[in-house]
Amino acid sequence: MIASDGPGAQSRRVRLAQFLVNWRLLLSLVSVAFCILLAAVIPQSQFDTSLDALLTKSDPFLPEVEALEAQFPTTLEVRFALTAPPNATVFDRRVIDALSDLKKRYTEIPYAARLSSLLDFYSPESQTRLFQFSIDRYSQEELDALLQPALNDRLLTNSLLTGEGQLTFAVVALSVDELAGEARERTALAIQELRDSLRNAHPDIGFYAMSDVILQQSSQKAMLDDLSQLLPFVIILCVLVICFCFRSIRFGAGILTHTLATCLCTLGFLAYTGFSFNSISVIAPLIVVIIAVANSVHIISLFRQSLENGASKKDSMIASLVHNVVPISLAALTTAIGFVSLLLCSSPAIKGFGIIVGIGIGFGFVLTLTFLPALLMLLAPKVEVIAEGGERPSSLLTEVVTLGKRYDRPIFWGCSLLAVVTLALLPLNESDFNRLDFLGGDPELSSYYDIVGESINRGPLLTYGVQTNKIDGAIDPDFLARLDDYFSWAQQLAGVESIASIIDIARAVNRAQHQDNPEFYRIPEDTDAVANSLLAYQVVQSDDFPLKDFITE
């Protein structure tokens, strides 16, 4: 009993403990029924594998990004990366045949709308196709001759060709902008089957596939693996440690049952409310397990001691609850406050983590009072068995206690020094976000990014959207001239490889309308002329570079 407690507080704890023990059967039955109801909806659990689930919502540029996405919506796509054989380029006949095979079969992917590849590339600047004739008409020498013109086309090297021609992309555009559930699973499976089939048909060519569909499906699988494999492992490990420390399989079984009930209630409640797990919040149930075990240990420890002193099961449980109800209540409250405070974080993923742990703490606390007493009293051995069994604390624990008493000062100063040293290392931490860190152990995804990272000759894409706030403002020659001045300045910056904009289209079409006279590779002189140039381009535009990707109506 805590010394500062008055008789009134002690009396209230005793009455609460007696109520929990006397009504333990009813409380445990209600708890079990509630647990079963919640566990029944666990299969309906949802998973949010999108990038938005990880990114902060407090970024000042987020409204601008969302506005740009609303003006220029994109659809899902599947990117196939093909690598050439050693000492060859993607204009090798074997690669061209593989691209032709992909062109014939890409419709095996559900929702596939079109394929963009070297075979059908049309340059909006030169107004010409890379392949002027049927593929079968080209000899290997003629194919090799196409390499340099392809490398000189900045739009081609920015989209479908990388490095010195050792890797090319083939992009399958899907007719939808989002997939979920069975449709996403079916599409991801079709992509993987097509990739594997093409690998078998063209063993000399490296085939790799990537899409948000595959990435999200892989992320969901990784989450399910964490819940179905890592969570049971942690639970069993904790139970084994408890069994070792208490030298009792029965108490270990009690902790196991209580922990499972806490996890089932937590996961079921989240599924019932429609909460979606993400790559970070999916590990929160592991924290719930640790907290549930801690609650159980407090109750079991004094319950066991009372039994060893000869008290009955009922009196032992009442004594344990009287002593522990305040400590475990304060522990649950303060721990819940700590994790629920994560709701103030700007990242949805961190918020979700705090929500799950907070809910788990609540269920763990309630079940500790309503379910655990009946369970322990059912599983506890008879009093005489404990008294005669010679139960002793673990020799290892005894040695640890002895060591702590004997070397308390060195341990204190050693830990203090370690704390100071690690605190000094704090500035070495780096804050960075790399989506590849969430790929898990999928070798196919890692292989794709590894091979692309080795071959690609450009960095990330930076997209600018300029709002003119006036009719035809985006095609006003003066505005385009100022924009061109900015792009000319930006082109000189280190790290900027190339820039593509509506200005390039207007110039290219203006030149084409004047018999390809180089003098007319400039911005048309008035708004009507710019509009006519864009309308002319729209008639013959390439699906790879549609006008709607550069300007709104």
Q: What is the pLDDT of residues 448-480, one digit of tens each?
A: 777 777 776 566 677 778 787 788 777 788 888
User: Rounded distance, CA 99 to CA 170, Å?
Assistant: 8
79: β partners: 171, 210
Q: What are 171's strand-pairing partners?
A: 79, 116
CA dihedral 240, 243, 246, 250 (to 10 degrees): 150
Higher model confidence: residue 542 or residue 73?
Answer: 73
Give CATH 1.20.1640.10 domain extents, the chain: 7-54+248-411
Q: Pairing mode, if any, of strands 46-47 and 276-277?
A: parallel
Tens digits of per-residue pLDDT, 121-171? Answer: 877 767 778 888 888 888 888 888 888 888 887 777 777 888 778 888 888
CA separation for the pair 186, 213 (Å, rounded): 10
pLDDT at 521: 81
Cβ neighbours of residue 419 under 8 Å, at least 6 residues apart? none
Dihedral angle sign, alpha carbons of residues 144, 148, 154, 157:
positive
- CA torsion angle for 434, 438, 439, 441 (degrees, to 10)? 120
Computed on alpha carbons and rounded to an integer, the radius of gyration of the chain in Å comes to: 33
Q: Among 12-21, 95-104, 387-396, which stretch is predicted with the lowest mean pLDDT?
A: 387-396
Q: Which CATH superfamily is domain 7-54+248-411 in?
A: Multidrug efflux transporter AcrB transmembrane domain (1.20.1640.10)
Q: Where in the chain is the domain with CATH 3.30.70.1430?
A: 75-176+178-217
* Mean pLDDT for all residues in the chain: 82
| Residue with more model confidence, 440 or 173 | 173
Q: pLDDT of 181-233, one tens digit each?
A: 788 888 889 999 999 999 999 989 988 888 888 887 777 777 777 777 888 88
The reply to whether CATH 3.30.1300.30 applies to domain 75-176+178-217 is no
